[in-house]
Amino acid sequence: MAKEVKFSLVYRDMWQSSGKYQPRVDQLVRVAPAIIEMGCFDRVETNGGAFEQVNLLYGENPNVAVRRWTEPFNKVGIQTHMLERGLNALRMNPVPADVRELMFKVKKAQGTNISRSFCGLNDPRNLKLSIEFAKKAGMISQAALSITHSPVHSVEYYLKLVDQLVEYGADEICLKDMAGIGRPSTLAQIVAGIKKSHPQIKVQYHGHSGPGFSPASMLEVARAGADYIDVAVEPLSWGKVHPDVITIQKMLSEDGFLVKDINMDAYMQVRSLTQEFIDDFLGYWIDPSNSQMTSLLVGCGLPGGMMGSMMADLKGFKAAINASERAAGKPESSIDTLMVKLFNEVEYVWPRLGYPPLVTPFSQYVKNTALMNLLALAQGKPRFSTIDKDTWGMILGRMGTLPGTLAPEIVALAKEKGMEFYTGNPQDEYPDELPKFRKMMDEEGWDYGQDDEELFELAMHERQYRDYKSGIAKERFNKDLADLKAKSGAPIVIKRPVVEMPEFDIDKYIAEHPKALPLQAPAKGKMLWEYDVVDTSKAPTVGTKLEAGKVAGYVQTYYGMEEIIPAKSGRVVAVTAPQGKDVVKGEIVAFVEE
């Protein structure tokens, strides 16, 4: 009898891999019946990852969104699955164990059937509690392998990891090929190994399209025994996202697999509604480059979803690098030349940082270090002159054990700075916090919500939740949308005054103030010198004193606020990014002199 392969629609990840926002709950409720009518999906990825934060950034309740979005699928027996980041749960930084446990209780109560849990370092310690908590809550625990291609990440490496995850109680295994660089034959060997050692374990494959391997990988893992394949639908399939279900369904059917037929009328309705959501407002935050595949990703191994932000980073650094090159009598680099240099530098940096799989947030750490190396080299400084605090946290083992060995120069640099390496369990560094958040809810007079879901949101995303409750989040979102519509010439629903700032000549400034230190944006987003101010252009004035280690400003990202913290004390001598300006990670927002 033919082997059956089932499909999962990654409707959440389709959007996250394309742009900043997810559809609103009213849009999700509209598209759900058409997804069901397609008749080819046994699973739909509905929430997790950035989904909850996006709703908070809208100024809307994410708990309502999850419940209403999962409900129609649960009614017809289509399983829903979420994505969570192990130690980091639904955010970008570590989460206390009691908050992690509450997450699974809440998501199960809201209608999510499966928890896909991954650790960007493949440290099983960071997944153990996710597996235990998911099963305790009554969910299916799907433990994910962060797939990459390196001398360290062998078939044996992954199969040993699977043995540990199954021992912890994982019900299923996902091969999370986030950059799409897993080689088809290697992936097939991993799946075959899992099926041989653990025949009862279901295997699901998730592969992005970026470098072009994914259709071959999907065929090979299916032949090796995979049970589920993640797919997308137009107009968000392919590019840096995922292959389209039509192509994969036809490919597997021709190869003799039992796959469900696709109701093409319903497919066209899903396609039409998805395009309508893009045209409505979501398209304003979709980077056009994400619709393109590129083989350049094969060498550096960066996730395809990072390409848009990475190019923006390069443009932000181009002026500073070129100014240094001119001063040294060297020819200036074009943006294409810099892109190749950055890819090459990522290949240089990655093994020296211990081969962390290039998935959020570790892909950002490696890319940022490579970018700072390019600037250092242009200025005649040694590599690794600048490493940010989060990357140091990864290097020192505070987020888990690195798969590979750190280069001797990195170890020596850490010792030179008086830093200590951590070998304990990362979770032990973050004590329980729910009593603190219960006290906050009581002081504010806020209801804990059905199944304690409001308490969970505060504990998981305190700052974003407070902005949602106060109305600041909705005000910010409406202003952002109005500004983007104004730039595009589309009708404006809400418009607020925006104070423009003259273009800042970074080249000239660097030449005139060679000792000035740049203050850089820690992430891509909107510059907020004052956290709760939306409509003014307040920023530090020339002469303002900034203290090392103290917050100077914020960047509003799609997942929340990132603090801007000066590494050294000094006085502001220039401000290059006004309140409300869109900035990219690493962009210079001010200059400070000691």
Whether residue 205 is found in the same domain as residue 154: yes
Q: Indicate whether 499 belongs to any domain.
A: no
Final residue in a domain of this structure, among 265, 291, 317: 291
Q: How far is CA 407 from the centre of its chain?
A: 27
The answer on 215 and 128 residing in a single domain is: yes
Q: Is 452 part of any domain?
A: yes
- Count of domains for the chain: 4
pLDDT computed for residue 539 by the predictor: 62
Q: Are residue 412 and residue 468 in the same domain, yes or no?
A: no
Same domain, 450 and 401: no
Q: How far is CA 454 from the centre of its chain?
A: 24
Does 1 fall in a domain? no
* 500 part of a folded domain: no
Q: Which of 190, 181, 184 is CA-nearest to residue 155?
A: 190
- Pick the last residue of a domain from 272, 291, 310: 291
Dig out the tokens for 182 from the structure: 């897993």
Structure confidence at residue 499 (pLDDT): 33
Beta bridge partners, 176, equal 146, 206
Spell out the residues 6+ positions from residue 441 whose beta carbon is closer than 8 angstroms to its own.
447, 448, 454, 455, 458
CATH number of the domain where residue 51 is located: 3.20.20.70
Residues 36 and 53 both lie in one domain = yes
Same domain, yes or no: 466 and 550: no
Distance CA 90, CA 48 (A): 6
Burial of 471 (0-12, 13-18, 19+ CB in 10 A): exposed
Distance of CA 484 to the CA centre of its chain: 23
Boundary residue ending a domain (442, 460, 488):
488
Q: Could you tell me if 458 and 384 lie in one domain?
A: no
Residue 582 lies in a domain: yes
Residue 201: name the closest of 191, 189, 211, 187 by CA: 191
> Which parts of the chain register pLDDT below 70?
304-312, 490-515, 531-539, 558-560
- On whether residue 87 sits in a domain, the answer given is yes
Distances (CA, A) of 583 to 124, 366, 417, 522: 35, 20, 30, 10
| 37, 71 contact by CB (below 8 A) | no
Q: Report which of 530, 541, 514, 515 is spatially closest to residue 564, judged by C-alpha positions.
A: 530
What pLDDT is attached to residue 243? 97
- What is the model's pLDDT at position 495? 28
CATH of the domain at 560: 2.40.50.100
Residue 38 forms part of a structural domain? yes
CA 83 to CA 90: how far, in whole Å? 8
pLDDT of residue 49: 85
pLDDT at position 581 is 82
- For residue 297, what pLDDT is reported? 80
Q: What pLDDT does 288 receive?
A: 80
In percent, how much of the chain has pLDDT > 70? 91
Burial class (CB in 10 A: 0-12, 13-18, 19+), 330: exposed
**Same domain flag for 394 and 536:** no
**DSSP tag of 504:** P
Note whether residue 495 is domain-resident. Answer: no
pLDDT digits (tens, 9 = 90+) for 340-380: 888 899 999 999 999 999 887 888 889 889 988 988 888 88
Determine the structural domain holding residue 578 and report its residue range: 506-593
**Do 354 and 442 have their domain in common?**
no
Rounded Cα distance between 193 and 158, Å, is 9
Q: Is residue 103 domain-shared with residue 245, that is, in the same domain?
A: yes
Q: How many CA atoms lie within 13 A of 304 on its CB side?
A: 33
Residues 229 and 101 in one domain: yes
End-to-end alpha carbon distance in the chain? 74
Same domain, 379 and 440: no
